[in-house]
Amino acid sequence: GTARVTIDPDFGLGTVDPRLYGTFVEHMGRCVYTGIYEPAHSTADEHGFRGDVAGLVRELGTGLVRYPGGNFVSGYHWEDGIGPAEDRPRRLDLAWRSIETNQVGTDEFLGWARRQGVEPMMAVNLGTRGIDAARALVEYCNIPGGTAWSDLRVRHGARDPHGVKLWCLGNEMDGPWQTGHTTAVEYGRLAAQAGKAMRQVDPSIELVACGSSNAEMPTFGEWEREVLHETYDEVDYLSLHAYYEEKDGDRAGFLASGAQMDAYISDIVATADHVRAVRRSSKRMKLSFDEWNVWYQSRFPGERALPLEETPRLIEDTYSVTDAAVVGSLLMTLLRHADRVAIACLAQLVNVIGPIRSEPGGPSWRQTTFHPFALTAKYARGTVLRTEVSGPVIETRRHGPVDALDTATTLDPETGALTVLAVNRGQEHDLHLRAALRGFGARYRVLEHLMIADEDPDAANTQEHPDRVTPQSVNGTRVSGEGELEALLPPVSWSIIRLA
């Protein structure tokens, strides 16, 4: 079939915030230890962080990294992770029933983030702790000196303040699994007061309140409304989390996960705007989609079933070509909501459902999902253009009818460069993309068409075959004399087409 879209520079819907290409490092499994950090590794720098992983993180192009959790943060004493490494306690981490050695803490992570050139997004513990620990952490991180906590940081070797701008007020506090799980009203009050105290320490910070853990939570919708009612004036963002997987062999539904994410974002925008109306506020709440990914959650036994170990292998999902198409499509969904979604974090960065994998003492490699993320982060910048698709439709059990073509376009207003992202969600037929380039003064030509596709949609990258799936250059994609972009998209494929 043929799918048609019209691309017009006058149809801008929002600007891509570089924070949309965020990721997430949690003290979970092997994300930190033997992930980003492994002092005994042959590539480790003088701080103990892996050089090979650092290189892949740079190539991934993530501009923001959330830390230190996740569920982990809800039992975390951040004071355990500062000062001389040999004095730090070994703690039982309640979230993942692991032994936390605290060899990496606030100063180590923030130092790594600075060297990587990424912005940190920190979370405070509103599960077992509260206002006092939260404001002390902001003081430790952001006050230059002359107070007890800031002088302690200086004594620990971090002379300059870390200047952390973005702060999450707890994590998934609506979830019964969360240490300190509570009601929306109680959480909202605590978040507002903790946020206020944190801003009293540093008025320049930005705050994220917890939304629902996913759209299937029984309190979904009401949780957001009640939390925002308590926190509206105090916070800058409301969080969303979502993980997608193939269920009951319904691959068509899985490939259409973007439609589910799209509805989720629209519902939260409506809920936030309802609270805005009720409060007669002029402020439009922005959204922080600070955990999203493909995660085969149904394969996870649950944290209670885990043996008590140090650095266990947890949820090290291996991603396929199909998963890469879904990740690419979820990124397009985020881009199409760039007017409200200002922050997003692919969860997580290394090993734990990560686009990067690493072995202790061994190599590191790019999962299939690495590629759509890296290329989107690199080239989908500037203004997101509104596009409507008309073409073949796929019937799905989970989401009803969805377009076979998923697409998003960005225009760099400075260079005029156009980036067209496209997924063929169909599993059987090629899709002919016809995009009318309308209203552009100049004639475009195709610089490059890169694609992730494979005869085997389950093909994956492994330690033995780390480059089994890589982006392939496509010939034949062109702009016709009539100014129409023409491309052929094979089944279950992700494409990036760059025009200049």
CB closer to ligand AHR out of 70 and 188: 70
CB–CB of 355/53 below 8 Å? no
> At its nearest, how many Å lie between ligand AHR and the CB of residue 70?
3
395 is an active site residue: no
Tokens 């490494």 belong to 85
Catalytic one among 38, 108, 226, 291? Answer: 291
CB–CB of 71/280 below 8 Å? no
> At its nearest, how many Å lie between ligand AHR and the CB of residue 494?
23
> Which tokens hold the place of 15?
């600007």
Helix, strand, or coil here: 57? helix
Phi, psi of 198 (to 5 degrees): -65, -40
CB closer to ligand AHR out of 5 and 95: 95
> At its nearest, how many Å lie between ligand AHR and the CB of residue 82?
22
Amino acid at 389: V
DSSP characters for 7-43?
E-TT-EEEE--GGGGEEE--SSTTSTBTTTB-TTSTT
Interface with ligand AHR by CB under 6 A: which residues? 26, 69-71, 171-172, 213, 291, 347-348
Tokens 């979820």 belong to 330
Phi, psi of 177 (to 5 degrees): -75, -15
CB closer to ligand AHR out of 139 and 174: 174
Amino acid at 415: T
CB closer to ligand AHR out of 314 and 408: 314
Helix, strand, or coil here: 239? strand
> How far apart (Å, rounded) are the C-alpha atoms in residues 311 and 2?
49
> At its nearest, how many Å lie between ligand AHR and the CB of residue 171?
5
CB closer to ligand AHR out of 75 and 328: 75
Tell me how far apart the terminal alpha carbons of the chain are, to the nearest angstrom.
Answer: 27
CB closer to ligand AHR out of 27 and 425: 27
> At its nearest, how many Å lie between ligand AHR and the CB of residue 321?
23
> Which tokens hold the place of 457?
């949609």
The 10 Å Cβ neighbour count of residue 238 is 26
Residue 19 half-sphere exposure, CB side, CA atoms within 13 Å?
Answer: 19
C-alpha gyration radius of the chain: 22
Q: What is the largest CA-CA distance in the chain?
A: 70
CB closer to ligand AHR out of 22 and 161: 22
> How far apart (Å, rounded) are the C-alpha atoms in residues 310 and 316?
16
> At its nearest, how many Å lie between ligand AHR and the CB of residue 245?
13
> How far apart (Å, rounded) are the C-alpha atoms in residues 436 and 8?
8
CB closer to ligand AHR out of 300 and 440: 300
CB burial readout 294-325, b (16+ within 10 A) else e: bbbeeeeeebeeeeeeebbebbebebbbbbbb
Helix, strand, or coil here: 94? coil
> At its nearest, how many Å lie between ligand AHR and the CB of residue 339?
26
CB closer to ligand AHR out of 207 and 423: 207
> How far apart (Å, rounded) are the C-alpha atoms in residues 16 and 372?
16
Q: Name the residue whose CB lies closest to ligand AHR.
A: 70
Residue 158 half-sphere exposure, CB side, CA atoms within 13 Å?
Answer: 25
Catalytic one among 26, 172, 230, 246? Answer: 172
246 is an active site residue: no
> At its nearest, how many Å lie between ligand AHR and the CB of residue 199?
24
> At its nearest, how many Å lie between ligand AHR and the CB of residue 106?
18
Q: Which residues are catalytic?
A: 172, 291
